[in-house]
A and B are shown apart, each in its own frame.
Chain A
Amino acid sequence: MRATPTHLRPNKTCATLSVIAPAPASAALRPHCLAALPGAIGRLVLTALLLAGGAGSAPAQNIELPPGPGRALVYGRCRTCHDLQYVEESKGLDAVGWDGILDDMESYGVVLSPEERRKIVDYLATYMGDQPPPAPAAAASDQPADGAALYAGNCAGCHQENAEGVEETFPPLAGNDDLFLSKDFLARVILHGLSGPITVKGGQYDNEMPAFDHLSDAEIAALVAYLRSHFGNDAAAHPDLARLTAEDVAVLRAEEAGPEAVRALRDELVGKGR
């Protein structure tokens, strides 16, 4: 197995520190927290901190919402435009308040079926609402992961239903060679995210895909298999790539990596393929 570039995994302990506290100039910066911000934004904040001559920290990028039915849809659809801190800071709204937020978001462009919208509002009102949330939901059932449903809930918001992407913003997954760069690369993108700039099918994309590590090992394996065999993608044309299993994903999940590390890996793999 290929060694993963060693970038620090976001340190979740600094997620609670959201304010720069005035501190003596000798106090150390918290680079591990800054590293948790998307690369470019992290550098911007670092500039501000240096100007301030003080120490500081910033919330981690990988905000986790409480597990519950519908959470995956929030992860899959809301992060097209903004990260989950928007959701976190709105915590405490009642069902009408969350429903109103969804009105706003639909007017800004998120496309949801009535069923998806209902699930999202139910989740937010229950787990991010004005009443204490119920005990964590029972573990997922043993039903086999459904690649098509996973794609619709997690990927289609950005990459579109037809997997053709959005010009200059989200790369296509249809006919995207990245899917077959190596056995593991696609799973790493899903688990750890991917930051641009990248070129896909001749188009430039300079964006950042967040990690989708809330998906289970089996779900990611199913999603990889689905992507490699739909939208005109043909896994059979790559006999050298063995089928990725849930056990493989479990190993990848333990790696410390982030969107920039995955991009570095991509650069390596693309360079090798030339």
Chain B
Amino acid sequence: MIIHNAKLGVMETPLSLLREHYITPKEIMYIRNHFPPAGKQAWYGTTDAPAVQDWKIRISGLVVRPRTITLDDLKAMKQVKLVAVMQCAGNGRYYFSQKAKVGGGQWKHGGMANVEWEGVPLRAVLEKADVGPAADARWITANGADESPAPKGADLIKSFRVEDPFLDNAILALKMNGEPIPAVHGGPVRLVIPGYYGNMNVKWLSEILYETEESPSPFQSKAYREVKKPVKPGTFTVKDYNTGNSTPTYAFKTMSVIFYPLAEDRVKAGPVEIRGVAWNDGLAPITSVRVSTDGGKTWQDATIEGGAGPWAWQKWSLKTSLDAGTHDLRCVASDALGRSQPLDGTVAWNPKGYEWNGADLVRVTVA
């Protein structure tokens, strides 16, 4: 694994490992955490589920009847399963730094995974809780049990529009890949919103609030935000973000990566099958993956083999032939809404390095 922060267990999966499994095992799944729940530093050192007998989620805010639901309440409800890509909003940040340095962990493409979640639909939980939200409570805020080690520090809190259609598919997940969710991945209860970047999928979910405004937490109002318009290095800095010129890093941009061959693979001249995966926010199917073996001069259509549902990796492959020498492989995915990837991903350069979706570039040497 590629360690980005040993203290917090932040690590990335090399693509050479990631490609070995369609469903990413917990042992190699990337980890991005800020703070553990208070006194639970040990949760960061294991892929075991947390040893908690009881877990409560308070549903409150501008409501008539605040309620508390328990882990057992959730277990007793109808469970649904879905496969979804989990991806850090900072995945690919390293590539922005090629244009102008962006602070933070220099993630390549391995800040993502393709996993199966199981749990109770958020809408069903809210309906059953019947808390009676006020008419002007237009935001739902999700809070996890994480706690900053600094006494007055902020912890991760996320807000969504009540009517956000992505919440229609959200679940309060209790299982990942068929097992109770590892603590390090947000167990015992994680809010999973398929198609949304990782930070939106609040770990250790402990509170749901109906509110008139989005949370003032810096994790909602300053961090994990994407600029609305393109900005240039030096003219827009991390200090210039506000809630007017940026939006939270909600839905995945359309993206694809090459899994084979990678730069370290030994490729023999002749027929070769180039393989990879593509994904987006799930709103529309991936309809095209084009592959170039000459750095983008000419393109061929890959075969889309599909995947386990709209939010999962869509596998693709292209049988072609490579001569001896150096080849720059590239791939570009597009979906049915026409949403695609820029050849030069740095056109979307932003000072925090979020939402990279530039066309992948793999230089292979064929012998």
Q: CA A130 – CA B103 in complex, angstroms?
A: 12
Per-residue CB contact flags for chain B residues 81-124 toward chain A (1 = under 8 Å, else 0) read: 00000000000000001000101111000000000000000000
Instruction: Offer 12 A-B interface pairs, CB within 8 angstroms, sorted by A.
Output: A20-B14, A38-B6, A38-B45, A51-B25, A51-B28, A52-B20, A56-B1, A81-B149, A89-B4, A101-B238, A104-B218, A108-B34
- Min CB–CB distance A173 → chain B (angstroms): 15
Task: List the 4 closest pairs (A to B, CB-CB), nearest first.
Answer: A40-B45, A109-B153, A109-B150, A100-B238
Q: CA A45 – CA B149 in complex, angstroms?
A: 24
- Min CB–CB distance B104 → chain A (angstroms): 6
In the complex, are the beta carbons of A81 and B105 less than 8 A apart? no
Residue of B whose beta carbon sits closest to that of A207: B41
- Min CB–CB distance A5 → chain B (angstroms): 20
Q: Which of B1, B6, B222, B239 contacts A96 (CB 8 A)?
A: B239
Q: Which of A38, A49, A101, A169 contacts B103 (CB 8 A)?
A: A101
Contacts of B169 in A (CB 8 A): none
State whether the Cβ of B78 lies closer than 8 Å to any Cβ in chain A.
no
State whether the Cβ of A206 lies closer than 8 Å to any Cβ in chain B.
yes
Q: Which of A81, A85, A90, A197 contacts B150 (CB 8 A)?
A: A81
Contacts of A51 in B (CB 8 A): 25, 27-28
Q: Which of B2, B42, B46, B151 contacts A206 (CB 8 A)?
A: B42
In the complex, are the beta carbons of A97 and B148 less than 8 A apart? no
Per-residue CB contact flags for chain A residues 89-109 toward chain B (1 = under 8 Å, else 0) read: 110111011111101100111
Q: Which of B7, B97, B105 contacts A208 (CB 8 A)?
A: B7
- Min CB–CB distance A96 → chain B (angstroms): 5
Residue of A whose beta carbon sits closest to that of B39: A168
State whether the Cβ of A22 lies closer than 8 Å to any Cβ in chain B.
yes
In the complex, are the beta carbons of B5 and A108 less than 8 A apart? no
Asked whether A86 and B239 contact (CB < 8 A) given A47-B27, A48-B28, the answer is no
Per-residue CB contact flags for chain A residues 18-55 toward chain B (1 = under 8 Å, else 0) read: 11111000000000000001111101110111011000
Asked whether A104 and B222 contact (CB < 8 A) given A81-B150, A168-B39, the answer is yes
Q: CA A34 – CA B223 in complex, angstroms?
A: 32
Q: CA A49 – CA B13 in complex, angstroms?
A: 11
In the complex, are the beta carbons of B223 and A41 less than 8 A apart? no
Q: Among A20, A130, A208, which residue has the most Cβ atoms of chain B within 10 A? A: A20
Residue of A whose beta carbon sits closest to that of B219: A108
State whether the Cβ of A121 lies closer than 8 Å to any Cβ in chain B.
no
Q: Which of A44, A80, A89, A167 contacts B104 (CB 8 A)?
A: A89
State whether the Cβ of A204 lies closer than 8 Å to any Cβ in chain B.
yes
In the complex, are the beta carbons of A47 and B222 less than 8 A apart? no
In the complex, are the beta carbons of B39 and A169 less than 8 A apart? yes
Asked whether A108 and B153 contact (CB < 8 A) given A47-B27, A81-B148, the answer is yes
Known: A37-B6, A81-B148, A83-B7. 14 other contacts (CB 8 A): A21-B264, A44-B46, A45-B3, A49-B1, A82-B8, A85-B3, A85-B5, A109-B148, A109-B150, A109-B151, A109-B152, A110-B153, A166-B151, A169-B149
Per-residue CB contact flags for chain A residues 162-197 toward chain B (1 = under 8 Å, else 0) read: 000011111000000000000000000000000011
Contacts of B40 in A (CB 8 A): 206
- Min CB–CB distance B51 → chain A (angstroms): 13
Chain B interface, >50% SS class: loop
Asked whether A90 and B103 contact (CB < 8 A) given A41-B9, A45-B3, A59-B6, the answer is yes
Contacts of B101 in A (CB 8 A): 90, 92-94, 97, 130
State whether the Cβ of B288 lies closer than 8 Å to any Cβ in chain A.
no
Contacts of B38 in A (CB 8 A): 167-169
Contacts of A90 in B (CB 8 A): 101, 103-104
In the complex, are the beta carbons of B150 and A111 less than 8 A apart? yes
Q: Among B14, B16, B150, which residue has the most Cβ atoms of chain A within 10 A? A: B150
Asked whether A82 and B1 contact (CB < 8 A) given A93-B101, A101-B238, A208-B41, the answer is no
Contacts of B218 in A (CB 8 A): 104, 107-108
Q: Among B39, B40, B42, B148, which residue has the most Cβ atoms of chain A within 10 A? A: B39
Listed in ascending order, the chain B residues whose CB lies under 8 Å from chain A are 1-9, 11, 14, 16-17, 20, 25, 27-28, 34-35, 38-42, 44-47, 97, 101, 103-106, 147-154, 184, 218, 222-223, 237-239, 264, 351
Q: CA A194 – CA B339 in complex, angstroms?
A: 51
Contacts of A216 in B (CB 8 A): none
In the complex, are the beta carbons of A100 and B237 less than 8 A apart? yes
Q: CA A18 – CA B44 in complex, angstroms?
A: 20
Q: CA A28 – CA B141 in complex, angstroms?
A: 48
Which chain A residues numbered 191 to 241 have a C-beta less than 8 Å away from chain B?
Answer: 196-197, 204-208, 210
Residue of B whose beta carbon sits closest to that of A61: B6
Q: CA A115 – CA B42 in complex, angstroms?
A: 35
Q: CA A197 – CA B41 in complex, angstroms?
A: 10
Contacts of A80 in B (CB 8 A): 149-150
Contacts of A107 in B (CB 8 A): 154, 218, 222-223
Q: Which of B1, B154, B264 contacts A48 (CB 8 A)?
A: B1
In the complex, are the beta carbons of A89 and B106 less than 8 A apart? yes
In the complex, are the beta carbons of A111 and B4 less than 8 A apart? no
In the complex, are the beta carbons of B223 and A43 less than 8 A apart? no
Contacts of B103 in A (CB 8 A): 90, 93, 97-98, 100-101
Residue of A whose beta carbon sits closest to that of B240: A100
Q: CA A204 – CA B152 in complex, angstroms?
A: 21
In the complex, are the beta carbons of B351 and A97 less than 8 A apart? yes
Contacts of A11 in B (CB 8 A): none
Contacts of A43 in B (CB 8 A): 45-46
State whether the Cβ of A79 lies closer than 8 Å to any Cβ in chain B.
yes
In the complex, are the beta carbons of B6 and A41 less than 8 A apart? yes
Q: CA A39 – CA B44 in complex, angstroms?
A: 11
Contacts of B105 in A (CB 8 A): 86, 89
